[in-house]
Amino acid sequence: MSSKPELLTVARLAPFLMQPLQGAFTLHERLHEEDPAAFTRIAGNIRAICGSGESKVSAELIGQLPALEIISIMGVGYDGVDVAAAKARGVMVSHTPDVLNDDVADLALALMLNVARRIPQADQHVRQGRWPAGPMPLARKMSGARLGIVGMGRIGQAIAARARAFGMSIAYTARSAKPALPYAFHATPRGLAAVSDFLVVITPGGAATRKLIDADVLRALGPEGYLVNVARGSVVDEGALITALQQGTIAGAGLDVFENEPNVPEALRALDNVVLLPHIGSATTQTRGAMAARAFANLQAHFAGTPLPSPVPECR
Ligand code: NAP
């Protein structure tokens, strides 16, 4: 029998994470999905799980792994992990906060600029040879506009720092007010939307934030307002958003995340007032490398018996 601990991967992980994992563990790559019969035979040996922010680690899967000790997620969001079931079994859960703040905040600003200044459409205007026939219609200025941030955590604060350089006025909502921050607090997303030109969503996913942005919030944002979602698709009522975009209830949307990824509704893809990205918030070589290093460091620390660099708050 191998002396290395056995680890189940629950996502297609990047080579720069697979390589160190292969050195330190006996790997079973998505065996629960690829070969359930073989998985059943080795399930009792699995001591670790490694996955991405989008991975599902259900109570049922945890229940099949009696020797499981740690779930290491390469991502800050861990809404796919049943943390209560893990905790009930004494299984640690870790994630990779902070190292991706810059990338996700950069992308939020990029989506705001792209949707308001209609950059994808302007690029097409040039590529398709339409420029000689006339200029683009005028767009919407972003600098100096009112920004509302739904979720003023690590990434929300990085978005606010960038927006300040654009001379934007900044307000936010969160579970609690942050008196140390120089931004106005609103108790509800609806109240915040009513005083925002751009509403950027950057809360965790999961049951507590499901459809936090609903038809009411979109109505409050209004026909001059733009929605940007870099959080999770579950936080926005996608049906209500499509209706609002079709009917001009809001001006437009920039979306990095969707309810049923990687499937994006045809009704959304058909709209001209949206910019759609395939969940690339942290998808740079530099940041994914840092996230992989942290995910591996959490596993290494666990098996060395030292404190984890970044357990999720519920496991601290
Ligand atoms: P964080 O530091 O934990 O901040 C989360 C913020 O959301 C906090 O301000 C929190 O309020 C607020 N919040 C939580 N539940 C809420 C609720 N029910 N209603 C209103 N506000 C609520 O997390 P982070 O590091 O900034 O990351 C945020 C999320 O971004 C992640 O969980 C992940 O889902 C998403 N993300 C997406 C990508 C991407 O690729 N698009 C990449 C990375 C992360 P309090 O401060 O009052 O607790």
Q: What is the whole-number distance in angstroms between the Cα of residue 9 and the centre of ligand 1?
A: 25
Element (H, E) at 154: helix 154-165
Phi-psi region of 163 (alpha: psi -120 to 50; beta: other; left: phi over 0): alpha
Structure confidence by residue, pLDDT tens digits, 245-276: 999 999 999 999 999 999 999 999 999 999 99
Element (H, E) at 295: helix 285-304
Which of helix, strand or coil describes residue 169? strand
The finding on whether 179 has its CB within 6 A of some atom of ligand 1 is no
Tokens of 154: 């690590």
Once rounded to an integer, what is the mean pLDDT over residues 143-158? 99
Q: Hey, which residues are catalytic here?
A: 232, 261, 279
Average pLDDT for the chain = 98
Q: What percent of the chain has pLDDT over 70?
A: 99
Interhelix angle 101-116/119-127, nearest 10 degrees: 60
DSSP string of the chain, one letter each residue = --SSPEEEE-S---HHHHHHHHHHSEEEETHHHH-HHHHHHHGGGEEEEEEETT--B-HHHHHT-TT--EEEEESS--TTB-HHHHHHTT-EEE---STTHHHHHHHHHHHHHHHHTTHHHHHHHHHTT-GGG-PPPP----TT-EEEEE--SHHHHHHHHHHHHTT-EEEEE-SS--TTSSSEE-SSHHHHHHT-SEEEE----SGGGTT-B-HHHHHHH-TT-EEEE-S-GGGB-HHHHHHHHHHTSSSEEEES--TBTTB--HHHHT-SSEEE--S-TT-SHHHHHHHHHHHHHHHHHHHHTS--SSB-GGG-
For position 82, what pLDDT does the model report?
A: 98
Amino acid letter, residue 26: T
Structure confidence by residue, pLDDT tens digits, 269-314: 999 999 999 999 999 999 999 999 999 999 999 999 999 999 999 9
> At 3, is the pLDDT very low, low, confident or very high (cuts 50, 70, 90)?
confident
Q: What is the whole-number distance in angstroms between the Cα of residue 33 and the centre of ligand 1?
A: 30
Residue located via tokens 């996502």: 11
Q: What is the whole-number distance in angstroms between the Cα of residue 250 and the centre of ligand 1?
A: 24
Tokens of 57: 């680690």
For position 299, what pLDDT does the model report?
A: 98
The finding on whether 32 has its CB within 6 A of some atom of ligand 1 is no
For position 286, what pLDDT does the model report?
A: 98
For position 8, what pLDDT does the model report?
A: 98
Structure confidence by residue, pLDDT tens digits, 4-53: 999 999 999 999 999 999 999 999 999 999 999 999 999 999 999 999 99
Name the residue of 83, 185, 201, 203 whose CB sits within 8 Å of the most ligand 1 atoms, as the mutation to test its pocket.
203
75: closest CA among 310, 308, 242, 272? 310
DSSP string of 29-66, one letter each residue = ETHHHH-HHHHHHHGGGEEEEEEETT--B-HHHHHT-T
Q: Which residues contact 256 (CB under 8 A, 6 or more apart)?
A: 107, 111, 229, 230, 277, 279, 280, 281
